[in-house]
Amino acid sequence: MQQIKRELRDLLSLWLVPGLAALLPWRWCVAIYWQLARWTRLLGEEVGGSRGGRATMGLDPDDPEFDRRFRFGFLLEHADAFRALARGWRGLAATMPIQPAAVEQPGAGLCYFFNFNQGLPALASLRAAGFDVYLVYRSLAQRPEGVGWLRYGYMRMRLKMVAKVCGNSGIGTGGARERIAGTIAAGGLVCVAADTPPRAGTGLVAVELPGGRQGWWRSGILKLGLELSGPLRCFTVDLDWATRERRLLLRTLPPCGDLAALSVQLGALFCEQWQREPALWFYWPVPQVFLSRPPDARVDTSSTRDDPSTRL
């Protein structure tokens, strides 16, 4: 019975409601989703799972406005895949204009982002601006434990939409360093999450999280960025809560020569986005994983190319 309920919840929140984006004008979808975000039964499991994380990070776990924004953000995230399915990458890019002041000459390099969802239209907007975009992603060779069939089907469909939006199959994790370097050398813009949680056996970098908390990110992709040629960039998404419109902000990071300086830059941008739009953060169920260092992980301070702890 529990499995049936889970599948029905996923049918509603991952397929039926977001699927409206394949049929209706986008502005209608945004208005509908904002009203549906009041519905406490919608995405109830996800909202409930975020409450402990909010308490951990010093936020009110019972804030109804946070709940509404949380639901709205996830509805947009899921709807983006159906928008791409029906309207293509150009139609999806139209839902998230790139900030004019941030547009620059398209070119190769590494581009960081943070896990605040809304990433699919960001990739489409970068492609529309002339970048040859590649996403570094975690592969889905098999159904993860505890994930229902409808959710797994949605996850697979979403990966196909990533390929449709970018025009390529992207770069799967697991021995990705050489592929990232080769893609950038060939003119690609490789987009990769900076806020990856600590994991046993990897190198870590210290970062200041919201509220002045000491946190940890995996260091591999940051160290790799220091080794590659070309500018380092970072994109963030600004959601105007008054109009519910989204904009893509693309920055070129100031040059820096060491890991500590890069982690400070990225940490500041992460905190800035977290303060603007905390309800959109993907890791609300488990923020505590960023606050503790695994005992067999090592804090990195260099950018040595042959360090095995930088494996992706």
pLDDT at 176: 84
Note whether residue 243 is domain-resident.
yes
Q: Is the dihedral of CA 280, 177, 162, 93 positive or negative?
A: positive
pLDDT at 312: 58
CA angle 33–38–44, rounded 5-degree value: 95
**Residues 34, 244: contact at Cβ < 8 Å?**
yes
**Residues 61, 54: contact at Cβ < 8 Å?**
yes
- Domain range enclosing 21: 2-307
Residue range 58-86, pLDDT digits in tens: 999 999 999 999 999 999 999 999 999 99
Given a cut of 90, is residue 109 above it in pLDDT? yes
In whole numbers, what is the pLDDT of the chain averaged over residues? 90
Split at pLDDT 50, 70, 90, the class of 3 is confident
Residue range 208-267, pLDDT digits in tens: 999 889 999 999 999 999 998 888 999 999 999 999 999 999 999 998 888 999 999 999
pLDDT at 303: 54
Rounded mean pLDDT of 283-301?
A: 89
pLDDT at 61: 95
Region for 167 from its dihedrals, namely left if φ exceeds 0, alpha if ψ lies in -120 to 50, beta otherwise: left
What are the start-end ranges of the E strands in 2-129? 109-113
Given a cut of 70, is residue 306 above it in pLDDT? no
Number of structural domains found in the chain: 1
pLDDT at 106: 86
**Residues 70, 50: contact at Cβ < 8 Å?**
yes
Note whether residue 312 is domain-resident.
no
Most confident of 6-20, 135-149, 289-303: 6-20
Split at pLDDT 50, 70, 90, the class of 309 is very low
DSSP string, 90-101: HHHHTTSPBPGG
**Residues 134, 190: contact at Cβ < 8 Å?**
yes
